[in-house]
């Protein structure tokens, strides 16, 4: 395997970190919106919403790792920063509500 192939594989792996971070943010904010919109939530949804604080913390860390190691173009840096902010903001709101 050449160095260019290894670099390409690492870049695609780091993009997976960014996608996972955005998925974590979407899950957390979606569950928050669902909680605000409904009066009664099923138990398993409540359990997943409790876990959303940890999920967003991990998502924020993945986004920060992507920014530090994998982002090369300015648009990817901006997307990584936005994902990290969305995740850490929700995590902070979750911790404040405890």
- Please write the tens of the pLDDT for every residue from 57-73: 999 999 998 888 888 88
Question: pLDDT band at 87, cuts 50/70/90?
Answer: very high
**How far is it, in rounded angstroms, from Cα 92 to Cα 25?**
13
Q: Are 86 and 61 in contact (CB under 8 A)?
A: no
CB neighbours (10 Å) of residue 75? Answer: 9
Average pLDDT for residues 23-30, to the nearest whole number? 87
**How far is it, in rounded angstroms, from Cα 44 to Cα 95?**
20
Instruction: Please state the domain extents for the chain.
Output: 18-97
Average pLDDT, the chain: 85
pLDDT at 85: 94
């Amino acid at each position: 395997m050449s160095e260019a192939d290894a670099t390409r594989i690492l870049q695609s792996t780091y993009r997976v970190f960014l996608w996972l971070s955005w998925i974590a943010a979407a899950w957390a904010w979606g569950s928050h919106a669902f909680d605000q919109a409904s009066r009664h939530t099923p138990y398993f949804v409540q359990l997943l919403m409790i876990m959303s604080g940890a999920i967003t913390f991990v998502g924020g860390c993945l986004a920060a790792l992507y920014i530090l190691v994998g982002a090369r173009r300015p648009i990817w840096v901006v997307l990584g920063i936005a994902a990290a902010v969305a995740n850490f903001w929700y995590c902070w709101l979750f911790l404040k509500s405890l």
